[in-house]
Structure 1
Amino acid sequence: MTLKKIIGQVHLIVGLVTGFLFFIIALSGAIYTWEPELSRIAFHQKVKKENQPLISISDIKNTLQQKFPEGDFRTALYRDPETAIEVLIYVPGTYFHAYLNPYSGELIHLQDMNKGWISKLKNLHRNLLLGPPGREIVHWVTLLSMGMLITGLVLWWPARGKPGKDKFSIKWSASPKKLNYDLHNILGFYATWILIFTIGTGIFWGFAVVRESLKEVSGENTLTWESPQSMVPTTGQAGSKDEVLNSLIQKYHTTYPEAEVRINIPHKEDEAVQLSVIKPKSGINAVNFYYHDQYTGELLKGNFQNGLAENRSTFSKINGLVYDIHFGTVWGLPGRILACLASLIGSSLPITGFLVWWNKRKRKK
């Protein structure tokens, strides 16, 4: 048996074993590419722009105290003037996103993030709705899928000579069997160049040994970081924490009008206030983090692990890039469209591949 035939057998066996699971993972991933748009509709995030100041942190606390007093208010994300403020709330066993009108403070929508079809879609992609065991299955299917891409490219290359025109274009007028073969062979070839990146980034997340090896190579393990901390005042000297938070969110939203601003609510005495300045469509590595004393509002400076984008470590930059590549956001909207199309084609490959095998099996009989 030739090497190419051995590779073909490996491709076939692994495809038959993992095909159905890969179909689910790829299809759910293709749909989840549009999670921001789907969430905007499902969670009623769109609001009418008004010519008045945005609500303060105190206003958010008042609304939550009335509507959801059992929740633990953690962060508030201020977006553009036509989008609701997204509030992260912890409760035992789960967490919620509350969406508030940025002008009136009205609670528009309250979503348990472990429930609902968008959450199920995310978990279907991550763990097949099976929890931790499912996550391990997804990791190994992802790894085997990378092997499928590589062996598929080997099988796509002709046994002799260079690829002809028939290797790059689908003959739509061909017989159903030939058309199915082209859909598997040719569409698979084109999608592979995108899937290599989306699957490769999935492997990065799925296997700690990959991340730890990269940390070692990049020198991440040798770096030391400072911890931003608030100076706890003596009794009687502390001012109003809400006033500081209100002042900070107003200042940042005024200073960065085109950016999204997330503010973290301190829960420990010496914890600093973290503000994230997010540039829409610029990727995770463009996010700047700032820290302030929760009692005085003073800007804290230091060598923080999550600080200014320009000071991010090599591993942190790679980690952020992995996220953007996986969802295609590294190339903006065109990248997301490519990632979605490649995943849709990827989800079709187990089906067309099975039909190729079945037709050959019938022909041999």
Structure 2
Amino acid sequence: MKKGFTWRKLFNDIHLWLGLASGLVLFVVCLTGTIFTFHTEIEEMLEPEKYKVEVPANAVALSPDVLIGQLQAAQKGKVTALQIPQDPAKPYRLTLKKGEGGKGGKPEGAKAKTGEGPKAEAAGPVAGKGGKGGKGGPGGGRGTTYLVNQYTGEVKGTTEGPAHGFFEAVEGLHRTLLVKRESGELNPGKIIVGASTIIFVFIILTGLVIWFPKKLKNWKQGLKVKTSGNWKRINHDLHNSLGFYSSFLLLIMALTGLCWSFDWYRQGASAVLGDQIFKQRSEKPMTSDLAAISNQKPGLSQLIQTTNGLLPYEGNYRITLPADSAAAVVLSKTQSGFFALSAADKVQLDQYTGQPLKVEKFADKKWNEKVAASVKALHLGDIFGTFSKIIYFICCLIATSLPITGTLIWWNKLKKKSKQQQVPTRPAVTSPAVSQV
């Protein structure tokens, strides 16, 4: 006798068939997301000769202006950005674009194409990293990031390397399944990943409905794994319990990840939040006072000192240098530490006078603005520093296992159902007397 319709059965069927349809893609996306979580730490660990500097006894770093001048003279280019870590044992990172600012380069008043716009931000989690000459050849794209010893001025290398190349491939697999298309063309890999992510959202929601017990007194069963059971029971409990524990963060990862997959989704989410997602890089710097152009410019050390007065805490700096003679200097500062919030405070200073033009503190933003500004950090898992990255790593590892454990549950039920259908019906037993009649 067939069972009648129930909402629980409907959700179970939706959960099952959506999982089977997208399981392979979700396995790849979750696995690459797991691997990518600690990509920065792994790169630095594999190449310590580049990512560590020896701190001298009297640790006094050279002026950022001196380091910039030396690199520009050696590489015949223009430094567009500078990263100063709080950790004195880590080198400075200078992003340089060749063919600009040096011999044969563009004049200072010419606006440089930095590749940092809405499309660059939407391109992926590591859109701010430059490769050799940037993407598009020497002098194009985002430029090359050099690692410079701040105490000696020695160039230790660039961020390029085997580990960096590996994680670029991992990111490409995560976002587009390594399918490449020219700029402006629809990428089928990106669409497949985005569609699978939408499916994943429904899988999570239907999974939560299925997890909720029929009888409230049995709710504890869904929170633990019965290790004393057979492997089928253990597999079922792993899928059921671990899926529940990780569901909230997986939902955040999926909903934020869609901001890279579809423009319509990002625009819709921005409308719901009341603030534009990825607007940081589309915002143009404020205008410096051109009347003071004849005055002597303050050095970066002085600008950093001014910013420290406005943002009185230790942290990491990312400084975006003016692209032309009118733009302001933009200094972003983030806290560092195991539980440190990754959100940046931003200060814009006049490049001629050093006067503050705009101060944006993350703590002063409205709730919706904080969420919109934190989409990237929420997706990558570094919203609360190393602590949240560890949590995200575990959740991504669980997410990678869910397609496997879910498929095994379906396969076991399929075999059980097949065996039940193959059981022969026993013939009716008749007595000899009856048969003789």
Q: Tell whether the 8 Å contact from 2:176 to 2:189 is kept in structure 1 after alignment.
A: yes
Of 38, 41, 49 in structure 2, the residue corresponding to residue 37 of structure 1 is 41
Q: CA deviation at 1:309?
A: 2.7
Q: Which residue of 2 aligns with 1:59?
A: 66
For the residues of structure 2 that align with 1:81 and 1:354, how far apart are their CA atoms? 49
Q: Which residue of 2 aligns with 1:117?
A: 166
Tell me which moved more, 204-213 or 45-54.
204-213
Residue 274 of structure 2 is aligned to residue 199 of structure 1: no
For the residues of structure 2 that align with 1:67 and 1:120, how far apart are their CA atoms? 31
For the residues of structure 2 that align with 1:183 and 1:136, how far apart are their CA atoms? 30
Tell me which moved more, 40-49 or 98-107.
40-49
Q: CA deviation at 1:261?
A: 1.8
Q: Which residue of 1 aligns with 2:197?
A: 142
Alpha-carbon displacement from aligned partner over 1:280-326 (angstroms, at most 9, x marks no partner)? 243343x221122222323324xx7xx23344355431123333333
For the residues of structure 1 that align with 2:30 and 2:302, how far apart are their CA atoms? 45
For the residues of structure 2 that align with 1:99 and 1:350, how far apart are their CA atoms? 41
For the residues of structure 1 that align with 2:63 and 2:7, how far apart are their CA atoms? 67
Of 344, 356, 361 in structure 1, the residue corresponding to residue 397 of structure 2 is 344
Q: CA deviation at 1:341?
A: 0.7
Q: Which residue of 1 aligns with 2:80?
A: 74
TM-score (structure 2 length as normaliser): 0.72
Q: CA deviation at 1:252?
A: 4.8
Of 204, 208, 231 in structure 1, the residue corresponding to residue 289 of structure 2 is 231
Q: CA deviation at 1:26?
A: 1.1
Q: CA deviation at 1:197?
A: 2.2
Q: CA deviation at 1:167?
A: 2.4
TM-score (structure 1 length as normaliser): 0.84
CA RMSD of aligned residues (A): 3.0
For the residues of structure 2 that align with 1:210 and 1:45, how far apart are their CA atoms? 38
Give the SS at the match of 2:61: coil
Alpha-carbon displacement from aligned partner over 1:131-185 (angstroms, at most 9, x marks no partner)? 4432332222111101001111222233455435432221223222222222212
Tell me which moved more, 316-325 or 23-32.
316-325
Unaligned runs of 5+ in 1: none
Name the CA shift for 1:93/1:310 in 2 (closer, same or farther; >3 Å): closer
Name the CA shift for 1:319/1:39 in 2 (closer, same or farther; >3 Å): farther
For the residues of structure 2 that align with 1:129 and 1:346, how far apart are their CA atoms? 21
Q: Tell whether the 8 Å contact from 1:253 to 1:261 is kept in structure 2 after alignment.
A: no
For the residues of structure 2 that align with 1:107 and 1:68, how far apart are their CA atoms? 11
For the residues of structure 1 that align with 2:306 and 2:355, how far apart are their CA atoms? 13
Q: Which residue of 2 aligns with 1:98?
A: 146
Of 266, 285, 293 in structure 1, the residue corresponding to residue 350 of structure 2 is 293
Decide which structure has the larger Cα Rg and report it: 2
Query: Amino acid of the residue matched to residue 120 of structure 1?
Result: A
Alpha-carbon displacement from aligned partner over 1:70-96 (angstroms, at most 9, x marks no partner)? x54211111121111112234314532
Residue 28 of structure 2 is aligned to residue 24 of structure 1: yes
Query: Hey, which of these two has a bigger chunk of helix by percent?
Result: 1
Q: CA deviation at 1:250?
A: 5.8
Give the SS at the match of 2:66: helix
Alpha-carbon displacement from aligned partner over 1:23-67 (angstroms, at most 9, x marks no partner)? 111122122221331232245322222223212233323442355
Q: Which residue of 2 aligns with 1:47?
A: 53
